[in-house]
Amino acid sequence: MTKLSVNINKIATLRNARGGNVPNLTEVAQHIINFGADGITVHPRPDQRHIRYDDIPELRKVVTNEFNIEGNPTKPFIELVLKNKPEQVTLVPDAPENLTSNAGWDTVTHRSFLSEVVSEFKQNGIRTSIFVNPKIRMIEGAKIVGADRVELYTENYANRYPKNPKKAIAPYVKSAQAVNEFELGLNAGHDLSLENIAFLKKEIPFIKEVSIGHALICESLYLGLENVIQMYLKKLM
């Protein structure tokens, strides 16, 4: 079964819109885990517009299954991760001004930098995943720098899925095969939803983990958080 990690950035955005602590982030994370999710993902950004750095220690206390911290490995981010020891760190090359992540790493150009960062995390017992576009050269680069896993950036799949699912998934199937050949673990994320997740799982059954936030929270407004988590878990079986 592919594991479901729920990204709670949007919960933090809602909290920050009014100040205070409603909704309470740690309580929501506990509910999500109790509803059956396999883990919690957060993506703290330098401007802290949703997840704040001071949220991480409190979440670390309550996330008892798998905690995944993703982000651009700046010095403050690296220090945050090393201090809180998540089960997984996902390296994402997002610029501070980006509204959301919009590309994977060029693991060839940034080989030296990524090698140093990955080595530091792995020496501290933290599984490291690198966010990449579905390109075999970038996956090979992730292997060379020492990553444990790659996370395929699935926005293009999600955008093209409604018109032609087979065509949309094709580059991802090819990339997933390369991931296996390079003996890496495979994660996936970005714009995955109840509409497109089952087909992704069917075509690439060995995905270890998907990270889903925006769509899941939006779907929960209509269908309820517990119900939506159960729906995802069934589609990922």
Structure tokens at 34: 């109790």
State the sign of the Cα–Cα–Cα–Cα dihedral 65, 217, 103, 187: positive
Q: Where are the beta strands (DSSP E) in the chain?
A: 3-7, 39-42, 66-71, 88-91, 127-132, 149-153, 185-189, 209-212
Residue 43 falls in the annotated catalytic set: yes
Q: Which of 50, 66, 151, 190 is catalytic?
A: 190
What angle separates helix 25-34 from helix 9-18, to the nearest 10 degrees? 150
Residue 110 falls in the annotated catalytic set: no
Burial label, 202 (beta-carbon count in 10 A; 0-12, 13-18, 19+): exposed
Residue 70 falls in the annotated catalytic set: yes
Q: Which of 66, 70, 151, 209 is catalytic?
A: 70
Catalytic residues: 43, 70, 190
